[in-house]
């Protein structure tokens, strides 16, 4: 679930003509929940008498524009009833909006209400992306008897590795903007330009940043008040017993550049491991950003130029999936279990499972003569482990953070900074293809009690462009969470430790003549709030401290990139 502005773009790209649809609309349908609260939806029925299978979308973004945004007229033409519902506390629905915490039970009650209606044949599916994708998983976990299948797209789900934290670092920019937009019944996004975001960057403590932006936000403060994976978050955290309950077909869609890819693939991983219906789970990963996962992509993205085959008729695929689940039009969904697009070479891969069975995890080691600072330094990468090398050092000033720059863009302008360590391989004589999850393990020390380490993986083109890969502007590890998210542990100053930074999943071929590059630093702003390096509670800290960082690459303290390398076949 990325910024609401991103999904607003979808509405600009897709339009529906009412004259082209034959249907019976029923607006403002009130649906009672078990606690007496009534949620409101718009219902669209085919213009024919009978009992219809139903596709349900549940949204916090105002139900009205979703009909055109998701091209739902095509569903009605196909013979489906469509219900688009405002979630609790949003739009016309009663109650208090409470993020994901109410969505499981509310989804269950809505599905079972639909199944009892005279126009329903009792078979219900769920559809939608981002927040609308996550609510599907939450409802499926409740096991509503009449839920036949779900098609979650770009669904967030890793609470401390995606939103509202990443690697334990609070995503204050996302939290303020997104929660401000959902704080009341209607969106407040039209007022964003009145907020002095530059001034807010240095406002402390973080806990009152909502007041400083003009609105006190209950959920913003609650998120900050629960900085560990405690009982507050437990009901949203999927574990083995949850996936054992999900015994139905699932079509998961995400993208290599989708900010909610970590969550989408966490659900895939869990279902693939524990769901009794895992053989009926399908996955599509395209070269797509967050909104493109529902639109099917474009041939140009940042510095990437894709083939025409990269663009899929995603809705056509979804309709085939729903026909199989709801109409029993075929015994199985027609398509490979996994489809993954490999950028660089612009090819789709059809797989029986993901990660692929023939992936090999290889170590690409960091080296330098002690001055890897900036692209002009002497940092290198090789498959050979280091022996005895001097460490690298840089200074991290949280008041001068490294600015965020999106994936797929050229990062050369940032690489002149002395607080970015740059490690680059030799030109590749043979291509290297990766397909799977990427990690950077940094052996490092800091003179601070707490700090952050960030990492990026880039493809360096023969003309010098350094193009960022992955779904996030950087991988992040907040030091106090290096042992896990259930508790914090501060650093011993200047004591070397291992920091494992996840860069999430990538499907890319580094071509011959290209180079592989890794950047190491300590900030990516405004993606996450800069660590103030004090070790104080993050929500209430008002002190700023400069940290001095050391990165090791020697025999007993190697730093490395762990790449999921695929064999190159004709």
pLDDT score at 138: 98
- Work out the pLDDT band at 191, boundaries 50, 70, 90: low
Q: Domain 4-157+238-351 is classified in which CATH homologous superfamily?
A: Alpha/Beta hydrolase fold, catalytic domain (3.40.50.1820)
Q: Residue 475 contacts by C-beta under 8 Å, 6 or more apart in sequence? A: 167, 440, 454, 455, 456, 501, 502, 503, 504
> At how many degrees (to 10) do helices 103-115 and 131-141 cross?
80
More confident site: 3 or 313:
313
The percent of residues in the chain predicted with pLDDT above 90, rounded, is 87
Lowest-confidence pick of 103-112, 197-206, 410-419, 446-455: 197-206
Q: Helix, strand, coil shares of the chain as percentages rounded to 5?
A: 25, 30, 45
Helical H runs in 236-327?
A: 240-244, 261-274, 292-295, 314-326
In this structure, the number of other CB atoms found within 10 A of the CB of residue 346 comes to 17
What's the whole-number average pLDDT of the chain?
A: 93
pLDDT value for 14: 38
SS3 310: helix
pLDDT of residue 21: 46
Tens-digit pLDDT profile for residues 330-386: 766 777 899 999 999 999 999 999 999 999 999 999 999 999 999 999 999 999 999
Query: What's phi and psi for 334, nearest 5 deg?
Result: -80, 105
152 touches 178 (CB < 8 A): no
φ, ψ for residue 7, nearest 5 deg = -70, -25
User: pLDDT tier at 199 (50, 70, 90 boundaries)?
Assistant: confident
Return the residue matching tokens 């190491």: 520
| pLDDT at residue 305 tops 50 | yes
Average pLDDT of the segment spanning 533-560: 97
Rounded to an integer, the average pLDDT of 110-132 is 97
CA-only gyration radius of the chain, Å: 24
Average pLDDT for residues 99-117, to the nearest whole number? 98
Q: Which residues contact 164 (CB under 8 A, 6 or more apart)?
A: 170, 171, 174, 175, 223
Percent of the chain with pLDDT over 70: 95
pLDDT of residue 17: 42
Q: What does the pLDDT look like over 9-19, one tens digit per residue?
A: 343 333 334 43
Q: What is the pLDDT of residue 511?
A: 98
Fold entry, domain 360-566: Jelly Rolls (2.60.120)
| CB count in 10 Å sphere of residue 407 | 25
What pLDDT does residue 2 have? 57
Local structure of residue 279 (DSSP, 8 states):
G
Helix (H) or strand (E) holding 142: none
Region 409-429: what's the mean pLDDT?
A: 97
pLDDT at 7: 42
d(CA 230, CA 226): 7
Look at residue 195 and tell me whether its pLDDT is greater than 80: no
Q: Which pLDDT belongs to residue 505?
A: 98
The pLDDT score that the predictor gives to residue 169 is: 97
- What are 148-177's pLDDT values in tens digits? 999 999 999 999 999 999 999 999 889 988
Cα distance between residue 510 and residue 430, in whole Å: 9
Q: What is the mean pLDDT of residues 50-68?
A: 95
- The tens digit of pLDDT for each residue in 241-281 reads 999 999 999 999 999 999 999 999 999 999 999 999 999 99
pLDDT at 28: 97
Q: How far apart are CA 559 and CA 557, in angstroms?
A: 7
d(CA 521, CA 402): 8
Does the structure show a pLDDT above 50 at 225?
Answer: yes
pLDDT for the residue numbered 194: 72
Chain centroid to CA 348: how far? 21
pTM for this prediction: 0.94
Q: Find out whether 73 and 67 touch, Cβ atoms under 8 Å.
A: yes
The three-point CA angle 221-226-230 to 5° equals 155
Six-digit token string for 261: 């890819």
> C-alpha dihedral over 177, 180, 185, 189, to 10 degrees?
-50
Q: Is 101 exposed, middle or buried (0-12, 13-18, 19+ CB in 10 A)?
A: middle
pLDDT for 232? 96
Confidence of residue 183 (pLDDT cuts 50, 70, 90): confident
Domain positions in the chain are 4-157+238-351, 360-566
Q: 302 to each of 311, 436, 513, how far by Cα in Å?
A: 16, 22, 21
């Amino acid at each position: 679930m990325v910024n609401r502005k991103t999904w607003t773009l979808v509405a600009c790209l897709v339009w529906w003509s009412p004259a082209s649809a034959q249907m019976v609309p029923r607006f403002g349908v009130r649906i009672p929940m078990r606690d007496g609260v009534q949620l409101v939806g718009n219902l669209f029925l085919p213009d024919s008498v009978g009992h219809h299978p139903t596709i349900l979308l549940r949204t916090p973004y105002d139900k009205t524009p979703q009909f055109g945004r998701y091209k739902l007229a095509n569903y009605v033409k196909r013979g489906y009833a469509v219900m688009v519902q405002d979630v609790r506390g949003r739009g016309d629905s009663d109650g208090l909006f409470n993020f994901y915490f109410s969505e499981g039970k509310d989804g269950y009650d809505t599905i079972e209400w639909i199944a009892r209606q005279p126009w329903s044949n009792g078979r219900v599916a769920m559809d939608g992306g981002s927040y609308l994708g996550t609510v599907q998983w939450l409802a499926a976990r409740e096991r509503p008897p009449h839920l036949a299948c779900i098609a979650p797209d770009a669904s967030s789900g890793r609470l401390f590795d995606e939103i509202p934290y990443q690697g334990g670092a609070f995503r204050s920019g996302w939290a303020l903007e997104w929660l401000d937009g959902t704080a009341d019944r209607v969106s407040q996004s039209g007022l964003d330009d009145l907020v002095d975001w530059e001034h807010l960057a240095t406002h402390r403590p973080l806990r009152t940043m909502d007041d400083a932006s003009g609105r006190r936000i209950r959920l913003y403060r609650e998120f900050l008040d629960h900085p560990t994976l405690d009982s507050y978050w437990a009901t949203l955290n999927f574990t083995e017993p949850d996936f054992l309950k999900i015994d139905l077909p699932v079509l998961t869609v995400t993208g290599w550049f989708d900010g909610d890819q970590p969550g989408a693939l966490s659900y895939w991983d869990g279902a693939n491991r524990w769901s009794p219906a895992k053989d009926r789970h399908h996955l599509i990963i395209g070269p797509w950003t967050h909104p493109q996962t529902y639109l099917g992509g474009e041939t140009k993205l940042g510095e990437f130029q894709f083939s025409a085959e990269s663009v899929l008729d995603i809705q056509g695929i979804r309709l085939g999936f729903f026909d199989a689940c709801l109409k029993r039009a075929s015994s199985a969904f027609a398509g490979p279990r996994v489809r993954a697009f490999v950028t660089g070479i612009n090819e789709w891969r059809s797989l029986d499972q993901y990660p692929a069975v023939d992936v090999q995890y290889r170590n690409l080691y960091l080296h330098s003569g002690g001055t890897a600072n900036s692209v002009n330094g002497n940092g290198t990468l090789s498959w050979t482990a280091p022996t005895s090398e001097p460490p690298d050092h840089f200074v991290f000033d949280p008041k001068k953070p490294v600015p965020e720059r999106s994936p797929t863009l050229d990062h050369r302008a940032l690489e002149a900074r002395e607080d970015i360590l740059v490690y680059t391989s030799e030109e590749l004589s043979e291509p290297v293809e990766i397909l799977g999850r990427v990690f950077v393990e940094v052996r490092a020390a800091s003179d601070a009690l707490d700090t952050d380490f960030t990492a990026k993986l880039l493809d360096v083109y023969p003309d010098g462009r350094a193009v960022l890969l992955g779904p996030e502007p950087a991988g992040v590890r907040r030091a106090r969470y290096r042992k896990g998210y259930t508790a914090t542990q501060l650093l011993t100053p200047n004591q070397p430790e291992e920091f494992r930074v996840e860069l999430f999943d990538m499907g890319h071929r580094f071509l011959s003549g290209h180079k592989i590059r890794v950047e190491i630093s300590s900030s990516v702003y405004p993606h996450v709030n800069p660590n103030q390096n004090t070790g104080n509670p993050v929500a209430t800290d008002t002190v700023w401290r400069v940290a001095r960082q050391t990165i090791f690459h020697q025999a007993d303290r190697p730093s490395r990139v762990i790449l999921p390398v695929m064999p190159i076949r004709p």
